[in-house]
Structure 1
Amino acid sequence: MYIPRAWARETREAALRDGRTVPVSAWGWGDDSARARAKALERLERALERIRSRKPFPRRYEYEARPLREELLQTVSGTDSNETVGIVTRNRYGAQVLNAVQLLFLDVDLPPRGLFARLRQLFARTTPEERALAQLRGALERDGRATFRIYRTASGFRVMAVDRPFDPAGSETWELMRSTRSDQAYARLCRSQKCFRARLTPKPWRCGVARPPGEFPRSEREAEQAFADWLADYEQASARFATCRYLETIGHGRASGDARRLQELHDRMTRCEEPLPLA
């Protein structure tokens, strides 16, 4: 897992074949501003060289092409060492996210409600949520390699493995994600970023709040003030919601050490034990 502490953007003009010039920008990252700027200049030069040599640009996919450009809010160290076991960041739409080195999270969405599904439900004895939960429970019981906590989210379920570590890029993680029908984009994100991610605070639009203005990092004072105003509105609105709700545990193990510390942080910030609507 690598969450950069500093970001920088560099921009230059590039000449096109027809004589026009266009601005070209590149982001760089690092552990301090100097390294971030050097990385930005390096990536910008590569982009300009592609334009000069008329080479195509690789298809952009933000989650996999580079570290996530997110504000670092909190670092969680191990109980027996100073190694980082988790980092809390703020994502592009303003929610706080837990990035965990070895604490496995699964993101399982409920199936879409199409016309056939709605007609089928007229004659069903169970709800789509009940059937999806039963399938998830069965997959976790068959796996049997860990103790799993299941949470309800606004759009499906979240699973946390509490009593043993997992490798985000490991084959057994990939197999578990496949058997539980975890979201594929989330699975690719975990593998590429070498960490598991779990959103800790509600999505703003589910609380009646727009997305935050601008993007991180905000270098101008006006942009910082606009974001501060947005954050105050978001925190006030999101106080009426929980991010997930604890449902049940599959297995008999218990979290300890680093896993327990991260579980407690997750459960406290998501407010999973409180009787609140989910967002």
Structure 2
Amino acid sequence: MKYFKFWVKESFQISIAGKTQEIKLLSGSNESKNAAIEEARNRAKMIEQRIADRSRKEEYEVAIKEHVSDIIDESNIISICRYGAKILNTNQYTILDLDDYPVDIFDVFKSLGKMSKKERIVFKFQERIKRYPLLGSDFRIYETTKGVRVIGKKYINPSEKNYTSLMRKLFVDWIYIQMSKKQNCYRARITPKPYRMRIRTIRIKSPLDCETNAYLDWSKEYEQKSEKYSVVKLIKAIGQDFSHEPVIKIHDRICNLHKNNKLA
């Protein structure tokens, strides 16, 4: 998981086919703004060289391009997403948001018809984990507005060879799978979506937007309204209880789990 505490957006002049062109780069550093500027300058030179050499861009772990509001520890941070909600980013736990479930031919012989959609998702997930012991045996399963969130105590590294295949078998969203692989972590929204609370949604185009007065003013109303909503409700725990672990306690507290409010 790669993230930065300090961000800058700088313009540079580079040469392309003998002509000077301007490029703008968003760059980050964990040292300082000045270090981020130097990093941007180095990137501009690399881009110029790569264009001149006609070389392909190398594959590498993508940084989380979001403002970091809290660093819990080296494996867990909280960032602000593009619409202002707080996101837990972790490479300590496996977090899956499931909005649907896989259907198979043997479902006709099961009592799925009497279950709600969320109950079916949980039922299907519990079936799947019996087939794939790689996932571990300890889980916390939560209800979300539209589906189910699963937090697994065992971390499944997204860079592992059969990761995509395993996630698809669990019916994890394709975009979420790709994001987990690129950022080498899992993400979970821990504060409500603004539109579900009927307040104005802010557009955050870069981490720098979170340093503006416009964002700071908006965030006061957002945080005040958020207290009246929950993001998750606990459905069940499977295996060993790990609710006492610091990151899980933070997740549950910020999600307003124990307030049992309306989900948003």
User: Is this a same-fold pair by TM over 0.5?
Assistant: yes
Counterparts of 1:226 and 1:49 in 2: how far apart (Å)? 38
State the SS of the aligned residue for 1:273.
helix
| 1:161 to 2:148 alignment | no
Question: What is the match of residue 267 of structure 1?
Answer: 252
> By how many angstroms is 1:264 displaced?
0.8
> By how many angstroms is 1:57 displaced?
9.0
Pick closer, same or farther for the CA change 1:95–1:45 going to 2, 3 Å. same
Question: What is the match of residue 187 of structure 1?
Answer: 177
Residue deviations 1:152-172, cap 9 Å, x none?
Answer: 11221110113x443343357
| 1:146 to 2:134 alignment | no
Summarize the alignment of residues 39-188 of structure 1 with structure 2, pairs less than 5 Å apart.
Answer: 39-48=39-48, 66-77=62-73, 84-110=74-100, 125-144=114-133, 145-162=136-153, 164-171=154-161, 174=164, 176-188=166-178
Q: Is the 8 A contact 1:104 1:168 kept in 2?
A: no
> By how many angstroms is 1:262 displaced?
1.0
Question: Matched residue pairs, number?
Answer: 249
> By how many angstroms is 1:42 displaced?
2.3
> By how many angstroms is 1:4 displaced?
1.2
Pick closer, same or farther for the CA change 1:173–1:159 going to 2, 3 Å. farther
Counterparts of 1:273 and 1:171 in 2: how far apart (Å)? 38
Counterparts of 2:128 and 2:248 in 1: how far apart (Å)? 22
Q: Is the 8 A contact 2:227 2:256 kept in 1?
A: no
Counterparts of 1:9 and 1:28 in 2: how far apart (Å)? 6
Structure 2 stretches lacking a partner, 5+ long:
102-112
Question: What is the match of residue 31 of structure 1?
Answer: 30
State the SS of the aligned residue for 1:2.
coil
| 1:211 to 2:202 alignment | yes
> By how many angstroms is 1:150 displaced?
0.8
> By how many angstroms is 1:125 displaced?
4.0
Question: What is the match of residue 233 of structure 1?
Answer: 221
Q: Is the 8 A contact 1:4 1:29 kept in 2?
A: yes
RMSD, aligned α-carbons: 3.2
Question: What is the match of residue 107 of structure 2?
Answer: none
Counterparts of 2:197 and 2:206 in 1: how far apart (Å)? 20
> By how many angstroms is 1:56 displaced?
10
Name the TM-score, length of structure 2 as normaliser.
0.79
